[in-house]
Amino acid sequence: MSWSNVFVQLFRFVTCNVQSQAGSDIDSTKPTLYPFDSQALTQLAVGSSVFIAFVLAITDVIPLIPNATSVIGLVLRVVGDWIIVAVIWFLGFLAITQTLKFISRGVWISEKGIKLSRFDRVVPWTSIRAVAVEPNFFFTKLFGLKHTARRLTILFHFEVKNKLLSSLLFPNYIPSFFFSKATFDQLVKDVFAKSGALPNRTLPDDLPYEYAVVAAAASADAFEIENWKHLRKTYGWLNKQKILVTGVILVSLVVFLGRKAMVYYCFNSAGKAAAEANFELARDYYQWSVKLEPMFAAGWNGLGQAEFRLAEQRRADFSTAVRDWRRAIFLKLDYVEPRLNIVRVCLYRRDYAEASRLLEHALKLAPYDGLALLEKAELDLALGQYSQAQKDARLLLSQGVNASQNPEYVFKARCLLAQAKLAQGDALAAQKEIEQYSSEPQSFTKGEDVTYLLMTRAQILLALNQLEAAESHIRLAVRRQPYNQEVLVQAALISLARHQLADCKFFLERAKVVNSAQAANSNTNPWLATIASRLAAAQVKDEKAR
């Protein structure tokens, strides 16, 4: 049923009080029911589900390409998606059509007029100006129908006093794929006979499906030339409407499905580039995804992550990343991840008040989110609340987040537990928390932050006065992340402990440069001034010793 038919039904309902022969029901003679056929509706559901599944499967292939490991894997994924879509569409569409069959039952015909459903108004035969039956071979092939699809069109006018309104012809469409073949054939013959169409002859019993019939009704001087001209104009308008609707549908499919496919292709390509540490390429792909879909919150979040990593590498400010994350939050108010990303920036800038505010919102939205609990533990650690930091980390470990699900969260929680115990002066207990992890980067494949482990282990070794081992760990961490401020601070402390003053000065100066960019308009890292004063005292002591 098309939109024009819906409009006609609505318009007829509104104007029913001015129709001269409307009537509330078929009164004198019991109407004949031409029922919808369950088998025909099932066949339509099957054909449409196959077509819809193919359309969606084709658009799903494009986003899967960046992350595909093999052609066979890609094909299996597409086949799986096709089966899921086909089954869901079949069940949903069949439920809708069976509900329609139960409510409407079918088309009712009496000596007075025709009703398109049980609850519809009667269209009197005197209001009908033309009827037509036309085959649709494209639709038949598209949905794999057993018999050629046909459409019965009934053109009628409203019997009102308004000349303009009464002169217009409105279509009612009755498709054949709702009925069995025999039922629809009889319905067509009955409509043609009772409407007065083709008065001098009747439709043959063996009318082929390829045969189209358009006939004017016998009432109201139907055979006058002016009426035929009017009928021709109406059909011309209907054909233009059909072309327009088809064009709109095709353009909508291309714009919606095609654009969606390209958005997710760019998004997945960006994720692959980010996993390979190619953040410039990842940023470009993320930018394309949000250009194609400006309301794509996940794209803005990913763009912020790429900008954050580039700012880390270039020792630049994080304001661009924060702007992108705030855009993601604006588009999706319950989006937790960008809030936590901004918390990370606040921790870098030592803006603990803003970090606490954002974490409070995030934990209300997702009280057991692993990343939120990790950053809460890190914030408590930075604020000197070591016992609370341990509680936060242990809460994460107790919430069912195991190594098979989120090994990177478990890993980071262990490191935070170690740092909290170290801050309380228990270096041996801290070492025990992370002794299960190797310091070899190649042993980590689940997204674990190896640099964070190396830095934590270097801090523990420094506390245990194992300076040589501490230096080897922290220098490996510096090589992995040469502009990580926390790593640089630890490297400066260990160099100072080993009395390598030149190295200490080098790491301290680099940490100051990073701090000036990352902590702009916020609190400066207090360790920088502390190390600088210790370094100056050591240099003075060396000069006196000479």
8 Å CB contact between 189 and 203: yes
Does residue 27 fall inside a structural domain?
Answer: no
Predicted local distance difference test score (pLDDT) of residue 342: 93
Does residue 63 fall inside a structural domain?
Answer: yes
Predicted local distance difference test score (pLDDT) of residue 495: 92
**Whose structure tokens read 């469409």?**
173
Residue 294 neighbours by CB under 8 Å, 6+ apart? none
- The gap between the terminal CA atoms of the chain, to the nearest Å, is 99
**Whose structure tokens read 């609190």?**
523
Domain count, the chain: 1
Does residue 132 fall inside a structural domain?
Answer: no
Cα gap 95→323, rounded to integer Å: 46
Predicted local distance difference test score (pLDDT) of residue 237: 74
Does residue 59 fall inside a structural domain?
Answer: yes
**Whose structure tokens read 């987040």?**
401
Range of the domain at 52: 37-104
Dihedral angle at the C-alpha atoms of 214, 219, 224, 229, nearest 10 degrees? Answer: -50
Does residue 316 fall inside a structural domain?
Answer: no
8 Å CB contact between 367 and 331: no
Does residue 86 fall inside a structural domain?
Answer: yes
Predicted local distance difference test score (pLDDT) of residue 518: 65
**Phi, psi for 179 (deg, rounded to 5):** -125, 165
Distance of CA 290 to the CA centre of its chain: 13
For residue 86, which of 58, 45, 39 has the smallest C-alpha distance?
45
Does residue 46 fall inside a structural domain?
Answer: yes
Each residue's pLDDT, cut to its tens digit, for the chain (546 residues) gives 443 443 334 334 333 333 333 333 434 457 888 999 888 888 888 888 888 887 777 777 777 677 666 777 777 777 887 888 888 888 888 888 888 888 888 888 888 888 888 788 888 888 887 888 888 888 888 888 888 888 888 888 776 566 655 567 788 888 888 898 889 988 888 888 888 766 545 555 555 555 566 666 655 444 455 566 666 777 777 777 778 877 777 777 677 777 888 888 889 889 888 888 888 999 999 999 999 889 999 999 999 999 998 887 776 778 899 999 999 999 998 899 999 999 988 888 888 888 999 999 888 888 888 888 888 999 999 888 999 999 988 888 887 544 445 778 888 889 999 999 999 999 999 999 988 887 776 666 555 678 888 999 999 999 999 999 999 999 999 988 888 888 999 999 999 999 899 999 999 898 888 877 766 545 567 788 888 888 888 888 877 766
Judging by beta carbons within 10 Å of its beta carbon (0-12, 13-18, 19+), is residue 322 exposed, middle or buried?
Answer: buried
Does residue 71 fall inside a structural domain?
Answer: yes
